[in-house]
């Protein structure tokens, strides 16, 4: 087989493959034989009709297409391998010249990986700002623990307070019409930690059990439902019950109840340990991110527009799926953010993701970092822990999605490169990083 390469725009290469007549004819004959097994022709048993009859019955173009479909993959793979092309997309046949008894000419277009110029990625000395433990972090942890184990008591001798729980019926209306999904019965609303519309919970404070009243609020301008954005709404409220939280006493008995502790001091020591470990994890993560960011910024690559366009479409599909899980609509997002702004955001994200991937691959290749089975297994274990599933179930599910398996492999390689970068660079944790 002869191969002629011609560089096109950016990273596009056109290959002209000349496949010897002998191979082309053999592929054509195999296609005829295969097709004859699946067509009914009067006067002939399946698989017994001569080539001329098959050609007349189905047409030579169909036979040629099937012959090329069987012959092309191996021939294209051979051409790519022999010419050491780092192909990043599925090759596409742009045209062919196929005449029975003559050499077959295939014109194939491929896109190759853009060349990455790495900057310094080893021996870096960087500084990252410390993530100190807030002064009130320990007390907040204790307060949250007490709240988690609080009991509630119904109060009848006073109005609802800022930190009470109100049991209410509510019905919302906009322009006199009921809001779809805007009603509830015996709903327990935490007045101090409400995720309702701003101003809703505040208007219940000061009311008494048994009161029936109306609340006037405005939906936020950024509300996800287009019909309700910025709209004034009226909610009819019936306050059934007011509940007051009773925090447990912080003593040794409480400490023994919430964990493997004997005393309050043991509990406080455990909180101190957790906060210190959290600080260490944050500093470690920030250090890794700073190394990776520095390496990416110091590297350069010309990313072809075709790659950006494909990545934008991939990101758009991901965003649409994520929005659908949240019950949101893509068109509403476009309207809210503006088509131009959203398009620019997608393009920026696409370029960043492509560059990250290309730099990771380049470092892996330069340093001969190869994925091993244990790397993939570790990724599966992480996913299983994340979704609360058995590892074999994760593997079974992902086995049906080559794209997901490819994504997991890329993530595993990224982790391996990040570990390499952390090992070969130094980060100093400092109180303050001076901005340049």
Q: What is the CATH number of the domain that holds 220?
A: 3.10.50.40
The token duo for 228 is 């309700």
Q: What are phi and psi of 95, to 5 degrees?
A: -165, 165
Residue 230, sorted as left (phi over 0), alpha (psi -120 to 50) or beta, turns out to be: left
161 and 100 share a domain? no
Domain stops at, among 82, 112, 142: 112
Q: Identify whether 189 is part of a domain.
A: yes
45 and 94 share a domain? yes
Provide the domain count of the chain: 2
229: containing domain? 151-246
The token duo for 36 is 């004859």
175 and 90 share a domain? no
Q: Identify whether 53 is part of a domain.
A: yes
The token duo for 219 is 């939906």
**Nearby residues of 186 by Cβ (< 8 Å), 6 or more positions away:** 167, 168, 169, 240
Domain stops at, among 246, 278, 310: 246
CA atoms within 13 A on the CB side of 282: 11
Exposure string over 379-388, b if 16+ CB within 10 A, otherwise e: bbebbbeeee
The token duo for 30 is 């195999």
> Which domain CATH number covers 97?
3.30.70.1050
Q: Identify whether 32 is part of a domain.
A: yes
**Nearby residues of 207 by Cβ (< 8 Å), 6 or more positions away:** 159, 160, 166, 213, 237, 239
Q: Identify whether 204 is part of a domain.
A: yes
> What single DSSP character describes residue 201?
G
The token duo for 234 is 């009226």
CB atoms within 10 A of CB 196: 17
155 and 107 share a domain? no
**Using an 8 Å Cβ cutoff, are 68 and 105 in contact?**
no
14 and 98 share a domain? yes
**Nearby residues of 359 by Cβ (< 8 Å), 6 or more positions away:** 116, 118, 295, 296, 299, 301
107 and 155 share a domain? no
pLDDT tens, residue order, the chain (436 aa): 899 998 777 789 999 999 999 999 999 999 999 888 888 887 787 778 888 888 888 999 999 999 999 999 999 999 999 999 999 888 999 999 999 999 999 999 999 999 999 999 999 999 999 999 999 999 999 999 999 999 999 999 999 999 999 999 999 999 999 998 899 999 999 999 888 999 999 999 999 999 999 999 999 987 877 788 889 999 999 999 999 999 999 999 999 999 999 999 999 999 999 999 999 999 999 999 999 999 999 999 999 998 999 999 999 988 888 888 777 778 877 877 888 888 999 999 999 999 999 999 999 999 999 988 888 888 888 888 887 888 888 777 776 677 777 788 888 999 999 999 999 999 999 998 876 5
Task: Give the residue ranges of DSSP H helices in 326-390.
Answer: 330-337, 339-366, 373-387
Q: Identify whether 268 is part of a domain.
A: no
155 and 238 share a domain? yes
Domain stops at, among 216, 246, 276: 246
8 and 105 share a domain? yes
99 and 191 share a domain? no
17 and 65 share a domain? yes
Task: Give the residue ranges of DSSP H helices in 241-338.
Answer: 252-258, 264-298, 305-325, 330-337
Pairing of strands 212-218, 300-301: unpaired
Burial class (CB in 10 A: 0-12, 13-18, 19+), 421: buried
Sign of CA dihedral 73, 79, 81, 87: negative
27 and 74 share a domain? yes
Q: Indicate whether this model's pTM tops 0.85.
A: no
107 and 205 share a domain? no
Q: Identify whether 370 is part of a domain.
A: no
């Amino acid at each position: 087989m002869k191969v002629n390469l011609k560089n096109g725009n950016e990273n596009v290469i056109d290959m002209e493959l000349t496949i010897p007549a002998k191979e082309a004819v053999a592929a054509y004959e195999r296609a005829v034989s295969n097709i004859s097994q699946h067509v009914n022709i009067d006067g002939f048993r399946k698989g017994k009709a001569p080539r001329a009859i098959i050609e007349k019955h189905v047409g030579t173009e169909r036979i040629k297409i099937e012959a090329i479909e069987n012959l092309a993959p191996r021939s294209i793979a051979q051409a790519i391998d022999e010419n050491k092309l780092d192909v990043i997309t599925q090759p596409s046949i742009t045209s062919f010249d196929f005449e029975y008894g003559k050499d077959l000419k295939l014109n194939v277009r491929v896109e190759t990986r853009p060349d990455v110029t790495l900057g310094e990625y080893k021996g870096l000395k960087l500084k990252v700002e410390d993530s100190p433990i807030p002064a009130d972090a320990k007390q907040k942890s204790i307060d949250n623990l007490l709240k988690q184990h609080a009991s509630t008591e119904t109060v009848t001798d006073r109005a609802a307070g800022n930190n009470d729980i109100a049991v209410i019926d509510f019905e919302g209306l906009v322009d006199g019409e009921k809001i779809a999904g805007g009603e509830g019965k015996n709903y327990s609303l935490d007045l101090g930690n409400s995720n309702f519309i701003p101003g809703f919970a505040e208007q219940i404070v000061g009311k008494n059990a048994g009161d029936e009243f109306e609340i006037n609020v405005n939906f936020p301008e950024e509300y996800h439902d287009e019909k309700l954005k910025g709209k004034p709404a009226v909610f009819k409220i019936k306050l059934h019950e007011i509940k007051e939280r009773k925090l447990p006493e912080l003593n040794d008995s409480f400490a023994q109840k919430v964990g493997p502790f004997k005393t309050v001091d043991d509990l406080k020591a455990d909180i101190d340990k957790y906060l210190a470990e959290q600080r260490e994890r944050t500093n470690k993560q920030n250090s890794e991110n700073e190394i990776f960011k520095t390496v990416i910024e110091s590297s350069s690559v010309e990313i072809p527009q075709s790659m950006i366009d494909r990545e934008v479409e991939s990101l758009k599909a991901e965003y649409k799926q994520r929005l659908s899980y949240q019950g949101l609509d893509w068109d509403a997002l476009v309207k809210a953010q503006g088509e131009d702004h959203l398009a620019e955001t997608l393009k920026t994200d696409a370029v960043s993701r492509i560059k990250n991937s290309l730099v990771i691959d380049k470092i892996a290749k330069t340093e001969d970092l190869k994925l091993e089975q244990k790397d993939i297994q570790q990724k599966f274990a992480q996913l299983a822990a994340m979704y609360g599933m058995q590892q074999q179930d994760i593997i079974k599910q992902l086995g049906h999605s080559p794209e997901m398996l490819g994504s997991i492999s890329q993530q595993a390689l990224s982790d391996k490169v990040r570990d390499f970068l952390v090992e070969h660079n130094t980060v100093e944790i400092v109180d303050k990083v001076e901005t340049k």
